[in-house]
Amino acid sequence: MSTQPTVISDANIPWELPSRGRVGMFCLISAESAIFTIFVVAYLFYVGKSLTGPMPKDVLHAPIFFTICLLSSSLTIHLAIKALKRAKVGSFALWWFFTLALGATFLFGTAREWHHLIYDEGLIIQTNLFGTTYYSLVGLHAFHVTVGLLAITTVLLFALFGYVREEHAERVDVLALYWHFVDAVWVVVFTVVYVVGR
Amino acid sequence: MRITGFSNRRARLAVPALVLLCVPVTALADPTGGSLSPTNIFAPVSTPAHSIFGLSLFVLAVTAAIFAIVFSLLVYCVLKFGKPTADDGREPPQVYGSNQVELAWTVIPVLVVVVLFLATARVLVGIQTAAQPRNAIQVIAIGHQFWWEYRYPGLKVVTANELHVPVSDPADPSPTFITLLSADTDHSFWVPRLGGKTDLIPNHPNSMWFDPQQTGLYLGQCAQYCGTQHAKMLLRVYVQSRQDFDHWVAQQSQPAQTSTTVSEGQRIFETTACINCHAVTGTVAEGRFGPDLTHLMSRETIASGVAPNTPENLRLWIQNPAAIKPASKMPAMGLSDHQLDAVTAYLTTLQ
Amino acid sequence: MATDAISTFRPDTVSLPLVARLHDWVTTVDHKRLGILYIVYALVFLIIGGIEAAIMRIQLIRPHNNFVSPDVFNRMFTMHGTTMIFFVVMPMLFGFANYLIPLMIGARDMAFPRLNAFSFWLTAFGGILLYFSFLGANGLYGAGNAPDVGWFAYAPLTSRTFSLGHSTDFWTFSLLVSGFGSIGTAINIIATVFCLRCPGMTLARMPLFAWLNLVMAVLVILAVSPLSAAQIMLAVDRYLGGHFFDTQAGGSAVIWMHFFWIFGHPEVYVLVIPAFAFVSEIVPVFSRKAIFGYPVMVAATVCIAFISMSVWAHHMFTVGMSANVNTFFVLSTMAIAVPTGIKIFNWLATMWGGKIHFKTPMLFCIGFLFQFLIAGLTGIMLSAAPFTWHLGNSYFVVAHFHYVIVGGILFATFGAFYYWFPKMSGKKYHEPLGKLHFWLFIIGFHLTFDFMHIPGLLGMPRRIYTYEPGRGWDTLNLIATIGVFFQAAAILVFVANLLWSYFHGDTAGSDPWDAWTLEWSISSPPPVYNFATIPEVRSRRPLWDRKHPEDPDWKYE
């Protein structure tokens, strides 16, 4: 059978399809959202049902500063991409570094909070339902932050060695999408754990 | 239009298939009361079971009608629109769709669904929100791996595996309301002729009720996979006349009939690990992990319906439970022959 | 091998040494090869899962049988269910999707070829991990072996207390791993369909196969993720002392059920929608008519996917939810019957007025229509919750879902095998053997699964390694077991046909069925690059337009 193309009458209309990177990342974000939803549902379901042990209102202190850090990193990553699209590679690297620093600060904050909870308040996964659900939900988010930071570090290294250029803006934007998702999840987790759940 | 020989064969399959599908309802509905099977869901003897039976007939009728219509259309298509043997190779008229037809076969199913839903909701709510009359019998059923514990809190009766309830007169119902709990994993209480099943889930109390209108023994078994011996967690419900039931209750609420001297069997029972799991009211035995044995000999079976309650089976059960129900939680007690005889003799005094 | 002039599929590989050819297959990122790998993998596990089923049916052939011990039986039903769903049907459907979607939309490969390969190997590893449990699961106390907690692994049976050893962990981790593989494939399918269609192929001109697999992929993303989450929670319970499902600490066994069935119900639509896709491609070609009501078929499928996310608790009608909650799930479950019925009517309307060619693919599709109709109707019976208070967890439900999966999905899949075998291998299969497969299998299927409904109506629960005599179940179980042997014989005929035809079949040519979608416009098997020139299309049936230039589809769409 020949493969001669059939002429289409609307051949003048340009054939534009979405970029596969963005579609793929949206799908990944949807899947991850579903996973987080289940952990959030479990957290909310078990609020107030622990039989023993420290209760949220006794031990939880809302990490406002670290939350501001994480949410600001969404802004810095956005600025980084904007710079890269204008071929300002140096500016890109700077904002990108700030994103990494802010994200790392957030992780440090989580680590500090957990250290306090474990050693000073005696709250671990085994303690009670609150312990199980809290560490699982916040830990799952922290894991995603970590993965994001590893990817951001890799890109930063590439940038420092001069491998990142204007034409890579779209690919880096896909990673930024992931990072925005991680921040959005934190908004939800923060609300559920430190506002509603107390 | 010529039809290929092959499609005739499919037609010949169609008729027996239709007949086969009508068989279950007509053959299984059992007005003679469970003679086809003691666990036939179409032989109800209690209000919830009757209610479900009525709904099921309605649902079956609707689905049978839908099947008849759609199946006939399929058979007609297969018979009428086969490629004729003298085919001219031209394609048939291409029909891409029809909005009216699509609308028709959307609206009609929606109406069918509405009717089915309303009928179902009525039965569902009726059973789940039934009020408890004042002379209802209260039972607490606790599921264990792999036996049933029954407590009658108002009547101070604790027993195992064989549930006794009074028959209920439709004019003045005396239903049995059961609270369902579990000591370990999920189980499910299903005695088909008395009603649908309800699960026993730890940390999640459930309740069910039935009001059997005929005396007799009704069978069932655990219907939620609970481990190795799930298949042998059988249910036996004895529906008795009010008089017989009261007599049974009176007998069951007595402490164990012990003689003044402690028999050798009783001594062995009370000094080995037996009392860790078993209770005999009126003695030092107060274990709760296994069935209460106070009136063991009043039961027809042991091991939750698996074996008849005879001294031989009792002895075998104590010696080697795996011979009757492998992987049950009863350990082989490691008693000598003489000890076994003594303990069995003691147990047979627990009337 | 095919001598079609256009076939240029690696003529040099024929003379390469075996190691090099194996290396080619193991490192491939070509969607066609990965598709075949998925399909062969699934066929191997189909046979293994079938053996597990045969063992169970032999044990149940008479009451108080002792062909296998209770422990072995319990492992058999767990492994059979887990294998068939995760390592047979899902890989099989992913394999066909992988192979066919790029060809049908005029693309050269899937959107992410390396992710494609990674997803396949994740799934493959998951299956091997699960089966390694037969050898490796013995825990500290010598307990454990293959998992025996049932394929839906209800808590608290899966807790450390009741599931000693590591058998449950093998269940958890093998599905977690293959679940990530499934999500990867789903991402790939969605990206491919949205981003790689050839010019002129708007979403409204895509073959229904591509549409339905797109919907399936969206469901995978939304449904498999909750299962992964629940399994992570189970692992936290079992390994880190968590209390997600620990009823002693105030946890809930019911919440596992909710999480599992939020996965489990959409999962069955993940399984059946690609089967709908097969039927939607085969029935029109063998009726010589366009599919009736293309837009309605798409809309109905999207509706089904949407509603399927809201029916999950109909698997939990006996769990003790309130009357209001039960009533809601009755309504949503009954509602999903409407778009499903619409699809059946549309397939019938496609056949209506056509010229039906009763070749093997079409025979299997007719079988599908008959059996899926019955399966849907028993589903409606089950949607009436009080009826499910009897029928749930009984052999009626087992018969119902096997009717859907074997009578529906597997029949449609066999149809797909026969339909696309010429395209994938370049050879025609042996038609009389195909028909023998069909008749043997349909007889065996009905013997087993028709008669399986009745013990459920007579009170027989599921997952029991033996049953009591005198309950009216004996003869029915015997008949059900006999059917297994017909089905086994049919599968042997099927595999023999595939192998014989691959080596000795007649050349198929690029378009043996005179079909209308793009995969039939290239050689059989296709060249590694699929299309020498990316096609441009103007309607849903580009090859119909080429073959009927006087009466093309785009005049009517």
**Distance of residue C491 Cα from the nearest chain B Cα, in angstroms:** 21
A5 found inside a domain: no
Take residue B260 and report the two structure tokens written for it.
């003044």
- What does the angle CA B10 – CA B11 – CA B16 come to, to the nearest 5 degrees? 95
Q: How many domains does chain A have?
A: 1
- Quote the CA–CA distance of B160 and C427 in Å, as a whole number: 67
User: Residue written as tokens 């001219």?
Assistant: B88
- Distance, in Å, from the CA atom of B197 to the CA atom of B183, rounded to the nearest integer, reads 18
Cβ contact B137:B165 at 8 Å: yes
Q: How many residue contacts between B and C have a Cβ separation below 8 Å?
A: 296
Among C108-122, C155-169, C210-224, which stretch is predicted with the lowest mean pLDDT?
A: C155-169
Contact C222, C307 (CB under 8 A): no
In tens, the pLDDT along C372-419 reads 999 999 999 999 999 999 999 999 999 999 999 999 999 999 999 999
By Cβ distance, the residue of A19, A30, A42 closest to C221 is A30
For C295-333, write each residue's pLDDT tens digit: 999 999 999 999 999 999 999 999 999 999 999 999 999
Question: How far is the alpha carbon of B29 from chain C, nearest alpha carbon, in Å?
Answer: 10
Query: Given an 8 Å threshold on Cβ–Cβ distance, is C387 in contact with B55?
Result: yes
| DSSP secondary structure of A109-133 | HHHHHHHIIIIIS---TTT-HHHHH
Q: How near does any CA of chain B get to the CA of C347, in Å?
A: 10
Q: Which of C294, C390, C458 sits opposite B97 (nearest CB)?
A: C294
Confidence of residue A70 (pLDDT cuts 50, 70, 90): very high
Chosen for mutation from A2, A47, A132 (greatest number of chain C CBs closer than 10 Å) is A132
Query: How large is the ipTM?
Result: 0.93
**Contacts A9 to C, Cβ<8 Å:** 538
Helix H or strand E encompassing A81:
helix A64-85
Confidence of residue B33 (pLDDT cuts 50, 70, 90): low
Predicted local confidence at residue A4, as pLDDT = 41
Contact C468 B234 (CB under 8 A): yes
User: Which residues, 6+ apart, have CB-to-CB distance to C273 below 8 Å?
Assistant: C212, C213, C215, C216, C219, C301, C304, C305
- How many Å lie between the alpha carbon of A73 and the closest alpha carbon of chain C? 27
CB of A23 within 8 Å of any CB in chain C? yes
Q: From B58, which residue of chain C is nearest by alpha-carbon distance?
A: C381
| Interface mutation vs chain A, best among C192, C221, C259, most A CBs within 10 Å | C221
Which two tokens mark A6?
Answer: 């059939």
Q: What is the C-alpha separation between C168 and B209, in angstroms, rounded?
A: 35
Neighbours of chain A (3+ CB pairs under 8 A): C
Cβ contact B38–C471 (<8 Å):
yes
Say how far apart CA B21 and CA C449 lie, in whole Å. Answer: 12
Interacting residues of C225 by C-beta distance below 8 A, sequence separation 6+: A31, A32, A33, A34, A35, A38, C183
Amino acid, res. C53: A
Q: What is the pLDDT of residues C263-274, one digit of tens each?
A: 999 999 999 999
Rounded to the nearest angstrom, the gap between the alpha carbon of residue B78 and the centroid of all alpha carbons in its chain is 43
Asked if the model's pLDDT at residue C351 lies above 90, the reply is: yes
Q: DSSP per residue over C116-162, as a string?
A: HHHHHHHHHHHHHHHHHHHHH---TTS---S--STTTT-TTTTSTTT
Q: Residue A182 is part of a domain; what is its CATH number?
A: 1.20.120.80
pLDDT, tens digit, 9 for 90 and up, residues C222-276: 999 999 999 999 999 999 999 999 999 999 999 999 999 999 999 999 999 999 9
Which regions of chain B does DSSP assign to beta strands (E)?
137-144, 147-152, 157-160, 162-166, 176-182, 187-189, 198-200, 206-210, 216-221, 234-240, 301-302, 307-308
- Residue B85 or B62, more confident: B62
Nearest to B41 among C69, C322, C457 (CB): C457
pLDDT in tens, A71-126: 999 999 999 999 999 999 999 999 999 999 999 999 999 999 999 999 999 999 99
The answer, yes or no, to whether residue B316 has pLDDT greater than 70, is yes
Out of A14-18, B165-169, C192-196, C342-346, pick the least confident: A14-18
* Shortest Cα distance, chain B CAs vs residue C270, angstroms: 23
Average pLDDT taken over every residue of chain B: 89
Mean pLDDT value of segment B236-258: 92
Task: With CB atoms and an 8 Å threshold, state whether C251 touches A1.
Answer: no
What would the mean pLDDT of B130-156 be, rounded to a whole number?
Answer: 93
Taking 90 as the threshold, does the pLDDT of residue B15 lie above it? Answer: no
Q: Tell me, yes or no, whether A1 lies in a domain.
A: no
Architecture of the C26-555 domain? Up-down Bundle (1.20)
pLDDT at residue C345, as a whole number: 97
Nearest to A23 among C190, C522, C534 (CB): C190
Distance from CA of B160 to the nearest CA of C (A): 20
Task: Domain ranges for chain C, please list them.
Answer: 26-555
| Whole-number pLDDT of residue B172 | 87
Of C257, C327, C369, C457, which to mutate for an interface test with B (greatest number of B Cβ within 10 Å)?
A: C457
Q: Using CA atoms, how far apart are residues B260 and B255, in angstroms rounded to an integer? A: 14
HSE-up of B245 (CA within 13 Å, CB side)? 19
The answer, as to whether pTM is greater than 0.80, is: yes
**pLDDT category of residue C470 using cuts at 50, 70 and 90:** very high
User: What does the pLDDT average to over B336-343?
Assistant: 93
Residue A38 sits at the chain C interface (C-beta within 8 Å)? yes
The mean pLDDT of chain C is 94
Which chain C residues have a beta carbon less than 8 Å from that of A1? 6, 510-511, 520-522
Picking from C159, C188, C194 by the largest number of A CB atoms within 10 A of its own CB, the best residue to mutate is C194
Classified as helix, coil or strand, A104 is helix
**Sign of the C-alpha dihedral computed for residues B4, B8, B11 and B17 taken in this order:** negative
Phi, psi of B249, deg, nearest 5: -60, -45
Enumerate the residues of chain C whose CB falls inside 8 A of the CB of residue A38: 225-226, 229-230, 259, 262
Sheet holding B147-152, edge to edge: B157-160, B147-152, B137-144, B176-182, B206-210
**pLDDT value, residue A3:** 40
Per-residue model confidence as pLDDT tens digits over C90-145: 999 999 999 999 999 999 999 999 999 999 999 999 999 999 998 876 644 444 48
- pLDDT for residue C5 is more than 50: no
Intra-chain end-to-end CA distance of chain C, in Å: 40
How many whole angstroms separate alpha carbon A193 and alpha carbon A44? 9
- List the alpha helices (DSSP H) in C352-430: 360-383, 385-391, 395-402, 411-425
Section A39-56 average pLDDT: 95
State the pLDDT at residue B144.
96
Say if residue C493's pLDDT is above 60. Answer: yes
Question: What pLDDT, on the 0 to 100 scale, is given for residue B23?
Answer: 53
B55–C465: do the CB atoms touch at under 8 Å?
Answer: no
User: For residue C232, which residues of chain A lie inside 8 Å, CB to CB?
Assistant: 35, 136, 140
Measured between CA atoms, how close is C472 to chain B, in angstroms? Answer: 5
Residue A134 covered by a domain: yes
Return the top range by mean pLDDT from A177-191, B21-35, B74-88.
A177-191
Query: Which tens digit of pLDDT belongs to each residue from A135-180?
Result: 999 999 999 999 999 999 999 999 999 999 999 999 999 999 999 9
**Does A86 map to a domain?**
yes
Say whether C352 and B77 touch across the interface (CB within 8 A): yes
Asked if A42 and A116 touch (Cβ cutoff 8 Å), the reply is no
